[in-house]
């Protein structure tokens, strides 16, 4: 579903980016600036489920997302936002605010900013100036027109309660005229199974662990893919080939987040945004790390397991999880094993994962220090920019006194 209408793609390579397909099919509002998820000019929105399973919108970088990932799913591009209201011709409030505050200069970055603001518009937790900064830090304006853009965002968000588009109380005879708000009243179905091929390239989306392990057995050279925030960059910048991809997004065991009295169990395919929503209140150091982890468009697709299995020295989640005594559950079709995260990494880009083995979940112990002790846990990051930048040095500490 694209801007409310069903579309069909046939014979397109599975490694075609969503942005390339959109622009080739007339949706040229989304722009390509960096082709690696840094500038946000390509931002579009996905109807997704939050950490509690409720419908929400998630803005993400379409330049590093692969087209087959969105089979059976709902997308909104900047073109779709200009058709809200009962007459289907009304500008969305975030677009109207950009016009009012002269938030567009050359206009290249504007569609991406608008889509990021669109996500914020339907977020109940985006009200403070720092939250607006976090929402927009993944969008780059080379004309340095940030002040009017921020003013537009603050105006649109402040006006949510007053505009008829988001009025809560509606009768059957006078429903909410905002189709985007009405969409969030309906459940979001999980991703459906997909077996797609074009030429010699294949893309699979299993819906159970059994199916996933079967695919890995029959296609031993297949590459697992979650949000594609790394694979997308390797496709665009390193021109790597991925002839067979197996998506983790349709496997419930890999995407859910659950808690017991003893620990949080985080599916390796859970997005960083959902991890933040579920755990930030309990783990302040984790919340601090996520606020300077890339940008929201990246966190909306990147997964916690993906950040760990790449075993990159600039993977910012590992130091925090190490201080919290996290462990990982590794699984094959034959069984599972639990490995302390401290023993998971064996070297640069190397882990204890065996062929055919996947990371199923991350286990994060709950509770404070033993009786009589106090605990402080903190995270520090040195980078050229505060947000949307890789670490020069990142460190996490836990001190029990």
Nearest Cα neighbor of 245 from 37, 376, 71, 119 is 71
Note down pLDDT in tens along the chain; length 401 residues: 999 999 999 999 999 999 999 999 999 999 999 999 999 999 999 999 999 999 999 999 999 999 999 999 999 999 999 877 666 678 999 999 999 999 999 999 999 999 999 999 999 999 999 999 999 999 999 998 899 999 999 999 999 866 555 444 445 555 667 889 999 999 999 999 999 999 999 999 999 999 999 999 999 999 999 999 999 999 999 999 999 999 999 999 999 999 999 999 999 999 999 999 999 999 999 999 999 999 999 999 999 999 999 999 889 999 999 999 999 999 999 999 999 999 999 999 999 999 999 999 999 999 988 899 999 999 999 999 888 899 999 999 999 99
Q: With beta carbons less than 8 A apart as the criterion, state whether 319 and 395 touch.
A: yes
Q: How many Å is the Cα radius of gyration of the chain?
A: 21
Beta bridge partners of 66: 17
What pLDDT is recorded for position 85? Answer: 61
Q: With beta carbons less than 8 A apart as the criterion, state whether 377 and 398 touch.
A: yes
Q: What is the 3-state secondary structure (H, E, C) of 234-268?
A: HHHHCCCCCCEEEECCCCHHHHCEEECCCEEEEEC
Q: With beta carbons less than 8 A apart as the criterion, state whether 387 and 251 touch.
A: no
- Bridge-based pairing of strands 327-332 and 335-340 is antiparallel
State how far Cα 51 lies from the chain centre.
12
Q: Is the pTM of this model over 0.85?
A: yes
Residues 6 or more apart whose CB falls under 8 angstroms from that of 115 comprise 43, 44, 45, 59, 76, 77, 78, 81
């Amino acid at each position: 579903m694209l801007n409310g209408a069903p579309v069909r793609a046939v014979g397109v390579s599975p490694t075609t980016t969503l942005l390339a397909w959109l622009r080739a099919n007339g949706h040229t509002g989304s722009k390509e600036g960096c082709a690696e998820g840094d500038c946000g000019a390509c931002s579009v929105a996905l109807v997704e489920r939050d950490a509690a399973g409720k419908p929400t919108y998630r803005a993400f970088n379409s330049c590093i997302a692969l087209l087959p990932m969105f089979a059976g799913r709902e997308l909104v591009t900047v073109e779709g936002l200009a058709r809200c209201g009962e007459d289907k011709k009304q500008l969305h409030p975030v677009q109207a605010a950009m016009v009012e505050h002269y938030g567009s200069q050359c206009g290249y970055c504007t569609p991406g900013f608008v889509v990021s603001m669109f996500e914020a518009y339907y977020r109940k937790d985006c009200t403070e100036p720092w939250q607006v900064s976090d929402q927009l830090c993944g969008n780059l304006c080379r004309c340095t027109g940030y002040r009017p853009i921020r003013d537009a965002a603050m105006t649109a968000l402040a006006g949510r309660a007053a505009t008829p588009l988001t009025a809560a109380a509606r009768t059957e005879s006078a429903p909410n005229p905002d189709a985007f708000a009405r969409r969030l009243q309906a459940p979001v179905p999980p991703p459906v199974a997909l077996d797609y091929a074009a030429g010699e390239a294949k893309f699979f989306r299993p819906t159970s662990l059994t199916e996933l392990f079967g695919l890995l057995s029959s296609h031993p050279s297949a590459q697992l893919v979650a949000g594609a925030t790394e694979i997308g960059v390797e496709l665009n910048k390193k021109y790597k080939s991925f002839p067979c991809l197996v998506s983790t997004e349709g496997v419930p065991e890999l995407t859910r987040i659950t808690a017991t009295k003893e620990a949080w169990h985080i599916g390796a395919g859970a997005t960083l945004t959902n991890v933040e929503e579920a755990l930030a209140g309990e783990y302040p150091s984790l919340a601090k790390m996520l606020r300077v982890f890339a940008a929201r468009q990246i966190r909306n697709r990147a997964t916690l397991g993906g950040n760990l299995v790449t075993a990159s020295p600039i993977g910012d989640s590992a130091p925090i999880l190490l201080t919290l005594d996290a462990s990982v559950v590794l699984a094959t079709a034959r069984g599972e094993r639990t490995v302390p995260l401290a023993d998971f990494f064996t070297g640069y880009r190397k882990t204890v994962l065996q062929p055919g083995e996947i990371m199923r979940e991350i286990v994060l112990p709950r509770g404070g220090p033993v009786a009589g002790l106090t605990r402080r846990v903190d995270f520090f990051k040195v980078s050229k920019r505060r947000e949307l930048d890789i670490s020069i040095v990142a460190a996490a500490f836990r001190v029990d006194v």
